[in-house]
Amino acid sequence: MFKPNNSLLANASVAPNSSAVLRIRDVEPLSTDATLLRFQSEQNHFWRRFSETLNKSTLLAQAPFSQPDSDEEEVVIEGKRQKPTTSPVYTIDSNEIFKQGADSAAEILRGLPGFAINDVGYGADIHTGTYYRGASINQSVFLLNGRPIGTNISTYHGGTDLNSISTSAIEQVELSSGTSATLYGSEAVGGVVNIITKKGGGTPTLNGLAQFGSFDTSTYRGNFTGSAGALSYALSYERFQAENDYRVPVGAANRGADGRLFNGDVKRDSYYGNLSLDLNPRNTLSLDVSTLTSRRGLLYFGFPLQRDRLNHDQVNAGLSWRAMLGNRDDSTLTTTLSFNQDYFTTEGPAQGTFSRTGRLDSRALNARIEHNWQTSRANNLRWGVDMQAASLAGETLSSVPRFIQFNGEVDRDRFQTALFALNTLQLSNTLQAEVGLRQNFTSDFGSYLNPSVGARWAVSPTLAVRGSWVSVHRNPGLDQLYIYDTVHNWLPNPDLTSETGSSWSAGLDIQFAPRLLGQFTYFGSRLNDRLGIIAGRWENVGLVNTNGLEAAVRWQIAPQWSTFVNYTYTDAKIGSGTEKGLQLSFVPYSVARLGIGYRSNGWEVNLYTSYFSGARRAFFLNPGDSNREFSSGWLNLDLGLRIPVSKQLGVTVFLENLADRSYEKSNRIYQPGLTYRIGLQSTF
């Protein structure tokens, strides 16, 4: 996939809300004084193109820029014009996902601006935290093709597990914040993550990958796409498994008698299918279904030798109808129905001679109607309704005498509806404003209104200033309210109140040169009544104030060479209680990722550097450690290669941790030394 730069888009004339086809060879480079003068007389047109580039393409910045293998190759870009936004939007597409060697959604998101994921790759566990601008995984909104997939579960290891979401069917991942909360959920304290899956079309094509690596790691992946008349289709399958029995130092979590990691094995199978039918030129019906079967051991932070097993079965299905209203392309109605189920079972020994078992069955039926209406050349309105019927059935069973009293089954449900509207107004050629409202109605926490505002000002042809503010509101999960956690021995609390507060950001979009682009963002949030565990029971523990900085810079050095750097600083301070003044546990102050890549005639070389400053340990400590201490920081180097064998075949090589030094990723979870993955990629 070719990612356009701003110099290409700036001269492309695209009518509002219409499809665009741009041929690279027809575009004149922007490098003369005359061009700059033309920009000054056409600022509105330029900023539409420049903002599209910054927000949707060039600053996504996780892997080097894809370029055509030959200067004679014609590249066609098709899509909808994207409006400038008042908060940054970062995306990463399937080509770049493959180049970085990502095997899960967690590996895709790590290092993207704003994200800190403590534990990915070898021996990855689900406990040590995923944070977007300092907010936990349940304080951000996770979507699949615009539909909610987050479980909002905090017990039994039933949280949204990004390490179990495979990459085989992913076409693109999109990160947004600010006024996106108006459209997709008031609980988006950190932001919104939308995972967009592959769609079919064109000539039938079969892609495959077989890959093997250290510690019995293997990946088998296949994708088949095509079309038949008005029907397009996409099918994919992936199997991933690894033993993860590498050597770890004394004091590491789950270090067995042989000095190797114990119970870190994982096996998952993922299936995906998509059908899309063009009923006529203005109506499209699409259906996609995905399933996951995951079986894995748990490392559980740092108990001496944890033997718990986690089984996770998931199904997600969505039916969508997209209709162009009227006779023009300025009004689109999208209706979506979806179903999501996550079924978790966990079991293991307790206190040596006893046992424990937990089961969670989380289900959600969602309906959404959205109208995207360009009411005038200067005004766009997105409005609609969201509905969700959610249920959670749980079962606890423990043979530990003092916990037998909590054994039993619980079945609870919740219904919620939201009316939303986001209006985007082009006040002048250089000034844009956004105003949003989301009115929520719930069966158990009443109704509440969450507004949002944003603005963007094109100060000059190479500089834009933006900012946003949004009111946020997250209700406790049904598990936190009603279900005893026999794994952690955490008690529920039916008297919990909602987490409330606000999030904001301010930033700059800068074009330093035609192929050198940067986004710099200050972000913050204030969250009241944050949920946490006190004395083994869920409680509203108090206030958290978060302030931070994001930086994303991308430079296309030459047609074959490119580089990027992403950096995030997060100061997430506890504002009340016994830990007042401390950084939130497991939230690092600094994370960064830098990459440089070369591509020519099918050959690819990509070098990545990752930095993690360390995070506060909090609990499950080694003797003598304090919960005020931080794990050590680390710097890591990875190398990815693609060697063409033929036009249809290529050999892939990924070498991780080139320094061959084991280090603590987070809270007693360790990264092995130098590891490898070697694979064969095919396209027919």
How far is it, in rounded angstroms, from Cα 20 to Cα 682?
30
Torsion of CA 581, 584, 587, 590, to 10 degrees: -10
- Three-state DSSP class for 481? helix
| pLDDT at residue 3 in the model | 38
Alpha-carbon torsion (246, 251, 254, 255), positive or negative: positive
Radius of gyration, alpha carbons of the chain:
25
| pLDDT at residue 126 in the model | 66
| pLDDT at residue 4 in the model | 34
| pLDDT at residue 585 in the model | 87
Q: Which residues of the chain have pLDDT under 50?
A: 1-81
Distance spanning both ends of the chain, measured CA to CA: 17
What type of residue is 367?
A
How far is it, in rounded angstroms, from Cα 531 to Cα 603?
50
Which CATH architecture best describes the domain 6-683?
A: Beta Barrel (2.40)
How far is it, in rounded angstroms, from Cα 491 to Cα 330?
52
How far is it, in rounded angstroms, from Cα 64 to Cα 565?
10
| pLDDT at residue 127 in the model | 64
SS (H, E, C) 593-627: EEEEEEEECCEEEEEEEEEECCCECCCCCCCCCCC
How far is it, in rounded angstroms, from Cα 192 to Cα 185?
8
Those residues whose C-beta lies under 8 Å from the C-beta of residue 421, and which sit 6 or more positions away, are 182, 381, 382, 383, 436, 437
| pLDDT at residue 130 in the model | 85
Domain locations along the chain:
6-683
